[in-house]
Chains A and B, each alone.
Chain A
Amino acid sequence: MRDRCPDGTVSLRVNPILCDGIGMCAHLAPGVIEIDPWGFPLFPRRPLTEDEQAKALRAVRGCPKQALLLDGYSGS
């Protein structure tokens, strides 16, 4: 996937090789991450709003495979 992250924006990415389709992310980020028919995450391929960022961050931290990334996120 291309880098869709203009300066100062934050977007979600998944390392699809690490992702095992456990599905925790969809529970942690409802409305931002959905699950495809095979159990793998679907999310907007664009910069996230602040509200979406907060949810996405929970999913990134809670992913058992550490497969989700927040591009452009500089917080801790």
Chain B
Amino acid sequence: MILDGAVSFDSNGHLTDSRQRRVGLPEHWERFPRAQKLSDQQLLDAIRDVDLTGRGGGHFPVSRKLAPIVESGAASVVINGSEGEVLSSKDAALLQLHPHLVLDGAQALARIVRANEVVVWLHEGAAASLASMQVACYERERDPRHADEVPVRIMFGPARYLTGEASSAIAGVRGLPVLPRFVRNPAAPWVEGEPVLLHNAETHARVGLVSRRGAEGYEPTSLVTLVLPRHRLVVEAKRGTTFASMYAHERLSPPEHILLGGYSGTWLPWERIAALPVDPIALRRQGISFGAGIIAQVPHDREALEWTAEILSWMAGESAGQCGPCIFGLPELSKQFTEFQMAKKRSSRQRRRIEELMHLIDGRGACRHPDGVVRMARSAIEAFAPAEVRA
């Protein structure tokens, strides 16, 4: 296990857990001793053998993303720690408690793809994560066990939702405007220039674990942010943990619905997921997207549809403003949805209008931002305003 039990955060994403301590470099070596020094090829094989997938939300196999970049080489290895999804805190937990595990993964990958640097890509305002990573760099620079590592650069993007989108982050790392690009191959999210290897912070931490323990010693856990009505918990779920057993273990009473995957996620009734494993691949087999591992409940002072309308409005404002259907469609969807939510009697005309709008927006942006908004809105209507309002 990476974490020593659940880590608590406040509802703004600040770590508030006084039992948790940041693991500095000497302690890191004690907790994660290097079982064996893997060669580059052994590490690549081990990453493939443990079926590691990208933890930014896409769950694309890491070994498939790596293969072409191992061939070509990369200019930089990027740790995407910007966590643009505002309900997520798992990457902040790693950067603040286990910075060296994250750096272990990035440095191992930098060696394999012959990169000259590791870049830590953060949200402006992520002060606690910044401090932890700066200290981690200081510690490593002075430790002979890390003498052969490449320099680490810490960079910031604006505190926006799309700062963590892969093509935005890569553009930012290159000193270009931090906006999504029109990319043809999602595994190579850059328009021009040398390849860049970008992984989410948790993905790097997992590569770090594999590099220290090998495939045999690797535990296939999942990091989850449980967004509760008044605070958050970052929990590490073992393989086989179900939603119900996770809630029971944390002594939480299950809600009626959860928003799985955050602001671009899916509202699901608890009965649908209670017995399912908290595991991205198993969920995908059920047609459910786990996203970046967010399980959210409605805040204590909101109704579900009201909160959904607020999220839609916020997400419309987070459009990068580049693609017509997103620029014009999201504010219109937000407006229609708010009217629908506030109406005393919801009409089938309103509902049809929203459905037409969602159809017009879906799949028409350069990035997946509008698609995520549509998915969330659609699932909210299914969950909270079911078909009887058609009458």
A residues within 8 Å of B by Cβ? 1, 3, 15-21, 36-40, 42, 45
A45 CA / B328 CA spacing, docked (Å) = 21
B324 located at the interface, meaning its Cβ lies under 8 Å from any Cβ of chain A in the complex? yes
Q: Are A17 and B366 in contact (CB under 8 A)?
A: yes
A42 CA / B324 CA spacing, docked (Å) = 12
Q: Are A15 and B325 in contact (CB under 8 A)?
A: no
Q: Are A38 and B182 in contact (CB under 8 A)?
A: no
A23 CA / B365 CA spacing, docked (Å) = 17
Q: Are A19 and B363 in contact (CB under 8 A)?
A: no
A19 CA / B325 CA spacing, docked (Å) = 10
Cβ proximity bits B306-336 to A, threshold 8 Å, 1 near / 0 not: 0000000000000000111111110000000
Q: Are A1 and B324 in contact (CB under 8 A)?
A: no
A15 CA / B327 CA spacing, docked (Å) = 15
Q: Which of A3, A19, A45 is B324 in contact with, Cβ under 8 Å?
A: A19
Q: Are B360 and A36 in contact (CB under 8 A)?
A: yes
With contacts A16-B323, A17-B182, A18-B182 known, is A1 near B364, CB below 8 A? yes
Chain B nearest CB, measured from A76 CB (Å): 21
Chain B nearest CB, measured from A43 CB (Å): 11
With contacts A1-B364, A37-B360, A38-B329 known, is A16 near B324, CB below 8 A? yes
Chain B nearest CB, measured from A21 CB (Å): 5
Chain A contacts for B329, CB-based, 8 A = 38
Residue of A16, A19, A36 contacting most chain B CB atoms (<10 Å): A16
Chain B contacts for A3, CB-based, 8 A = 184
A16 CA / B323 CA spacing, docked (Å) = 5
With contacts A16-B324, A19-B324, A38-B328 known, is A1 near B363, CB below 8 A? yes
A7 CA / B325 CA spacing, docked (Å) = 29
B160 located at the interface, meaning its Cβ lies under 8 Å from any Cβ of chain A in the complex? no
Q: What are 30 residue pairs bridging A and B, where the CB atoms are less than 8 Å apart in the complex?
A: A1-B363, A1-B364, A15-B366, A16-B182, A16-B322, A16-B323, A16-B324, A16-B325, A16-B326, A16-B364, A16-B365, A16-B366, A17-B181, A17-B322, A17-B323, A17-B366, A18-B182, A19-B324, A21-B324, A36-B324, A36-B325, A37-B328, A38-B324, A38-B325, A38-B327, A38-B329, A39-B324, A40-B324, A40-B325, A42-B360
A39 CA / B364 CA spacing, docked (Å) = 13
Nearest B residue (CB) for A2: B363
Q: Are A15 and B364 in contact (CB under 8 A)?
A: no
Residue of A19, A21, A42, A45 contacting most chain B CB atoms (<10 Å): A19
- Across chains A and B, which 10 residue pairs bring their CB atoms closest together, nearest first? A16-B323, A40-B324, A38-B328, A15-B182, A17-B322, A17-B366, A17-B182, A21-B324, A16-B366, A38-B324
Chain A nearest CB, measured from B116 CB (Å): 30
Chain A nearest CB, measured from B213 CB (Å): 36
A23 CA / B328 CA spacing, docked (Å) = 16
Chain A nearest CB, measured from B126 CB (Å): 27
Chain B nearest CB, measured from A52 CB (Å): 19
Q: Are B322 and A40 in contact (CB under 8 A)?
A: no
Chain B contacts for A18, CB-based, 8 A = 182
Chain A contacts for B363, CB-based, 8 A = 1, 45
Known: A20-B324, A40-B324, A45-B363. 6 other contacts (CB 8 A): A3-B184, A16-B323, A17-B322, A17-B366, A19-B323, A38-B324
A39 CA / B363 CA spacing, docked (Å) = 16
A39 CA / B322 CA spacing, docked (Å) = 14
Chain A nearest CB, measured from B288 CB (Å): 19
Chain B 344-369 residues near chain A, CB threshold 8 A: 360, 363-366
A17 CA / B365 CA spacing, docked (Å) = 8
A33 CA / B366 CA spacing, docked (Å) = 19
Chain A contacts for B360, CB-based, 8 A = 36-37, 42
A42 CA / B363 CA spacing, docked (Å) = 11
Chain A contacts for B324, CB-based, 8 A = 16, 19-21, 36, 38-40
Chain A contacts for B322, CB-based, 8 A = 16-17
A36 CA / B327 CA spacing, docked (Å) = 13
Chain A nearest CB, measured from B41 CB (Å): 31
Nearest A residue (CB) for B360: A36
